[in-house]
Amino acid sequence: MLFWFGENNRLEAPRSLAMSQGLLPFYDEHVGTHDPLNLLSLSEARSEVRSLRQDVRMIKELHPAYLAYLTRFQIHDELDMVFWYGERPAAGLALFRTMGCQEFLIDQNCWDNIHHHFDCVLQAHDRLREIKLQHFSHRYGLTVSEVSVVRAMMAGASNHEIVDLLELKLSTVKSYIFSIFNKMGVENRTAAVALLYQALLR
């Protein structure tokens, strides 16, 4: 199950594969903060990979509502991953082991490597790239209009193509680009795009 962290670390757009359709509504209504692997709690602890079965003490202290949730959906183990962008959590991935499935036998180093692989994939996701672009724009003080021009520049659009795309005058586009160069401390489009991609690929 994949989650995105939205504003104030709210979980957004959960996507599940091969899980009961009633799992998420039941979880939201009855479990929530009783989940010891709650992704919000994991993000506050700066965790990256955590398994339910790796902490015996945690199992002994499970809340009745969480135990009922595990029983109802036949969940025998859960492994959660949190993916970060700088100091903020960007996404979370929950893996469930249900009845009949083999145990999570991979050791911690392997899970860390798997986490790294997923992290590399997510860094190139459009949603995370947009978050990075917004952070970049705040860092350099770009306006909303300038960010729109930056997006077009990154797509390889010429000045005339930006005019058509954003329905602006050519003089306005040139003014925005001049302002963008000044704020970013670069002298040409190539240097600006290179700096942008350097920031977005971190």
Q: Do 114 and 163 reside in the same domain of the chain?
A: no
Q: Do 104 and 20 reside in the same domain of the chain?
A: yes
Residue-wise pLDDT for 19-46, tens only, equals: 667 777 787 788 877 777 776 677 777 7
Residue-wise pLDDT for 44-55, tens only, equals: 777 778 777 665
Report how many domains make up the chain.
Answer: 2
Task: Round to whole Å and give the CA distance between 52 and 96.
Answer: 10
Residue ending a domain, choose from 103, 123, 143: 123
Residue-wise pLDDT for 141-171, tens only, equals: 999 999 999 989 988 999 999 999 999 999 9
Burial 73-93 (b: 16+ CB within 10 A, else e): bebebbbbbbbebeeebbbbb
Q: What is the CATH number of the domain that holds 65?
A: 3.30.450
Q: Do 24 and 90 reside in the same domain of the chain?
A: yes
**pLDDT: is 96 or 43 the higher one?**
96
Residue ending a domain, choose from 65, 98, 123: 123
Q: Do 103 and 33 reside in the same domain of the chain?
A: yes
Highest mean pLDDT among 6-20, 67-81, 131-145: 131-145
**Which class for 25: exposed (0-12), middle (13-18), buried (19 or more C-beta within 10 A)?**
exposed
**pLDDT: is 89 or 53 the higher one?**
89
Residue ending a domain, choose from 91, 107, 123: 123
Q: Check residue 53 and report its DSSP letter.
A: G
Q: What is the CATH number of the domain that holds 140?
A: 1.10.10.10
Query: Which domain, by its residues, includes 193?
Result: 129-200
Residue-wise pLDDT for 97-118, tens only, equals: 887 777 776 677 888 888 888 8
Sheet hosting strand 88-98, strand order edge to edge: 11-15, 2-5, 88-98, 75-85, 49-51
Q: Do 15 and 63 reside in the same domain of the chain?
A: yes
Q: Do 143 and 118 reside in the same domain of the chain?
A: no
Tally: H helices and E strands in the chain: 10, 5
